Amino acid sequence: MLDYISGKIADLTPTEVVIDNGGIGYCINIALPTYSLLMGQKETNLYVYELLREDVHQLYGFAEKSDRELFLLLIGVNGVGANTARVIMSSLTPQEMRDAIVRENARALKNVKGIGTKTAERIVVELKDKIGKLKIAGSQPQMMMGQAAEAEEAVDALVMLGFNRQNSQKAVEKAIQQNPGAKVGEVVKLAMRLM
């Protein structure tokens, strides 16, 4: 089993990074906070989770070990797959997630795309005792919002997460109006709540 992968960033999108390690390009699925951290970097070290099934071999990457632990807790909940966990981690910060679960605020989780009432309630019930023990890393720096190209990156991130492009553009515009100067990741999260 892989623990981490270090190397040069060969390609980066809001949902994937390709890391060149020894001439091999590892395509790793990432959440928006990790994408924001990798922007402008030439090299990285990501902690990975390797999903192996008969029909699937995927890697999921995390900037912090605690993010990977949180991901593992989420996919341990019945009905929450790896991609759903990634969308949750793109929509809520680890602290927001912890607060929602500890305070039994299933509504905050239900606002995430693909999470219904029963799944949100299941996450709260199954993780309430476990998440308190998890050490959550400090806030992660993200690039500042302000240029049209960066707004388009936020739209692209939403589209890659499964949202309609036209609705994503409207939501990003509203998010920027409501929170001028917000970071890209923050704009994406706010836009997801507005849709």
| Domain boundary assignment for the chain | 4-62, 65-131, 148-194
CA pair distance 161, 168, nearest whole angstrom: 10
Q: What percent of the chain has pLDDT over 90?
A: 44
pLDDT tens figures, 67-86: 999 999 999 999 899 999 99
Whole-prediction pTM: 0.69
Q: Cα 192 from chain centroid?
A: 12
- State how beta strands 24-29 and 57-62 pair: parallel
Question: Fold identical between 4-62 and 65-131?
Answer: no
pLDDT of residue 148 exceeding 70, the answer is no
Instruction: Calculate mean pLDDT across residues 61-69.
Output: 92
Altogether, the residues listed in the chain come to a count of 195
- State how beta strands 24-29 and 43-52 pair: unpaired
Question: What architecture (CATH level 2) is domain 65-131?
Answer: Orthogonal Bundle (1.10)
Question: What are the structure tokens assigned to 158, written together?
Answer: 């939403």
DSSP the chain: ---EEEEEEEEE-SSEEEEEETTEEEEEE--HHHHHHHTT-SEEEEEEEEEE-SS-EEEEEESSHHHHHHHHHHHTSTT--HHHHHHHHHHS-HHHHHHHHHTT-HHHHHTSTT--HHHHHHHHHHHHHHHTTSPPPPPPP-PBP-SHHHHHHHHHHHHHTT--HHHHHHHHHHHHHHSTT-BHHHHHHHHHHH-
pLDDT tens figures, 171-182: 888 888 787 777
pLDDT tens figures, 24-61: 999 999 999 999 899 889 999 999 999 998 888 999 99
| Structural class in CATH, domain 148-194 | mainly alpha
CATH of 4-62 among 2.40.100.10, 2.40.50.140, 2.60.200.30, 3.40.50.150:
2.40.50.140
